Structure 1
Amino acid sequence: MVEMDVDPVEAPVDWSDLPPEIVVQVFAFLSEQDRASAAVTCSRWHALHSHPSLWRYRTFNLGNTAQFHRTCDMLRQYPLNLAYYLKTFEAEYPETARGAHRMHHCKRIQKTMTTFLSRLRGKAQLRTLKLRQFELHRRTWQNRSADLVRSIAWFLCSQGRLRWVELQGMSATPEHGLRMFSSLVRRSGASIRVLNIQDYFCPAQAIYALPEFHQLFKRFRHLSVLYLNYNCVSDELLTTLAETCRESLTDINIKVFHMDPHFQRIWSMSWYFLRSACPKLQVTFTFERVLLYEDVKQCLLPDMPLANLELTCGNDYVVHRDWVLSPTVRYVEQKFTRTLQELSIDVLNADDDLYEPLLQLIQSCKKLWSLEVRTWMRTAFVDSVCQLKKEGKTILTTFKAVLVTHMDEETRQELAVVYSKHKDMIREGLLNYNFHVEWNPYL
Structure 2
Amino acid sequence: MDIENIHIEAEVCSSESGNRILQVDRKVISSHEGASSSALYKMFDDDDETEDYFEPIPQWECLPHFIITDIANYLSDVHRISMALVCRSWFVCVMKAPRIWRDKTITLTGEKYDQNHLRYVRSVGRYLHSFHVFSHIRSYYNRYQVRRFQRILTTILAELYRKGPVQLKEVSFVDFFIHRHMRFDRDQVCRKGVLRSLRRFLRVQYRLESADLTGICIKFEEAIQLLSCLPTSSGKTLSNLYIHQLLQTHEEGYTQMSFVEAIGRFENLSVLHIDYNCISDDLLVTLSEHKRGILQEIVIKCRREDTHNHVVEEESWRKLHKSMPLLTVEMVCREIVRFSALKPILVSSMQLTSLEILGHDNSDNFQPDRLLRHIAKAFPMSLERLVVDVNQVRRTMSHGFLAIIMNCINIDYLEIHGRILVEYLQEMFDHFQVVVNKDRLAPGPMHFRYIGYGLDHIDGFAETAVMFEDYQNLVTQHNCTYEFLMDPYLATAWL
Task: Give CA deviations for 1:121-171 in whole Å, capped at 9, x if unaligned.
Answer: 242111101111110111545221221011000101001111111111111
Structure 1 residues 212, 413: closer, same or farther in 2, change over 3 A?
A: closer
Match of 1:290 in 2: 336
Task: Give CA deviations for 1:342-367 in whole Å, capped at 9, x if unaligned.
Answer: 10001135442222211121111111
Match of 2:322 in 1: 276
Greater alpha carbon shift after TM alignment, 301-310 vs 73-82: 73-82
Structure 1 residues 333, 412: closer, same or farther in 2, change over 3 A?
A: closer
Alignment size in residue pairs: 432
State the shift of 1:395 in Å: 4.1
Structure 1 residues 16, 403: closer, same or farther in 2, change over 3 A?
A: same
- 1:371 aligns with one of 384, 389, 414: 414
Question: Is the aligned partner of 1:132 residue 2:178?
Answer: no
Question: Is the aligned partner of 1:57 residue 2:103?
Answer: yes
Please identify runs of 4+ aligned residues in structure 1 that moved more than 6 A: 7-13
- 1:149 aligns with one of 186, 195, 202: 195
Aligned AA for 1:294?
A: S
Match of 2:146 in 1: 106
- 1:89 aligns with one of 131, 139, 144: 131
Query: Matches of residues 153-232 of structure 1 in structure 2 within 5 Å?
Result: 153-232=199-278
Structure 1 residues 429, 6: closer, same or farther in 2, change over 3 A?
A: farther
Q: Partners of 1:133 and 1:35 in 2: how far apart?
A: 29
Identity %: 24
CA contact (8 A) 1:329 1:358 kept: yes
CA contact (8 A) 2:140 2:180 kept: no
Aligned AA for 1:435?
A: F
State the shift of 1:401 in Å: 1.6
SS at match of 1:300: coil
Question: Is the aligned partner of 1:361 residue 2:404?
Answer: yes
Q: Partners of 1:439 and 1:117 in 2: how far apart?
A: 46
Higher relative contact order (CA 8 A, sep 6+): 1
CA contact (8 A) 2:271 2:296 kept: yes
State the shift of 1:271 in Å: 0.6
Question: Is the aligned partner of 1:417 residue 2:466?
Answer: yes
CA contact (8 A) 1:407 1:437 kept: no
CA contact (8 A) 2:368 2:400 kept: no
SS at match of 1:183: helix
Match of 2:285 in 1: 239
Aligned AA for 1:377?
A: I
Listed as ranges, the gaps of 5+ residues in structure 2 are 1-7, 15-19, 23-55, 437-441, 491-495
CA contact (8 A) 1:377 1:405 kept: no
SS at match of 1:130: strand
Match of 1:116 in 2: 156
Q: Partners of 2:291 and 2:478 in 1: how far apart?
A: 39
With normalisation by structure 1, the TM-score equals 0.89
With normalisation by structure 2, the TM-score equals 0.80
Q: Partners of 1:115 and 1:55 in 2: how far apart?
A: 20
State the shift of 1:282 in Å: 1.1
CA contact (8 A) 1:405 1:439 kept: no
Structure 1 residues 321, 34: closer, same or farther in 2, change over 3 A?
A: same
CA contact (8 A) 1:83 1:123 kept: no
Aligned AA for 2:400?
A: P
Aligned AA for 2:200?
A: W
CA contact (8 A) 1:254 1:286 kept: yes
SS at match of 2:179: coil
CA contact (8 A) 2:240 2:271 kept: yes
Greater alpha carbon shift after TM alignment, 336-345 vs 178-187: 178-187
Question: Is the aligned partner of 1:347 residue 2:390?
Answer: yes
Greater share of strand = 2
Listed as ranges, the gaps of 5+ residues in structure 1 are none
State the shift of 1:418 in Å: 2.2
State the shift of 1:429 in Å: 6.8
Structure 1 residues 3, 251: closer, same or farther in 2, change over 3 A?
A: closer
Match of 1:322 in 2: 365
Task: Give CA deviations for 1:70-114 in whole Å, capped at 9, x if unaligned.
Answer: 3x213322455744421100111246x13545x443222211110
Aligned AA for 2:230?
A: L
State the shift of 1:6 in Å: 5.0
Match of 1:394 in 2: 443
CA contact (8 A) 2:328 2:353 kept: yes
State the shift of 1:38 in Å: 2.1
Match of 1:406 in 2: 455
Structure 1 residues 22, 366: closer, same or farther in 2, change over 3 A?
A: same
Q: Partners of 1:345 and 1:375 in 2: how far apart?
A: 8
State the shift of 1:412 in Å: 6.3
Q: Partners of 1:3 and 1:118 in 2: how far apart?
A: 64
Structure 1 residues 232, 165: closer, same or farther in 2, change over 3 A?
A: same
Structure 1 residues 381, 47: closer, same or farther in 2, change over 3 A?
A: farther
Across the aligned residues of Structure 1 and Structure 2, the Cα RMSD in angstroms comes to 2.8
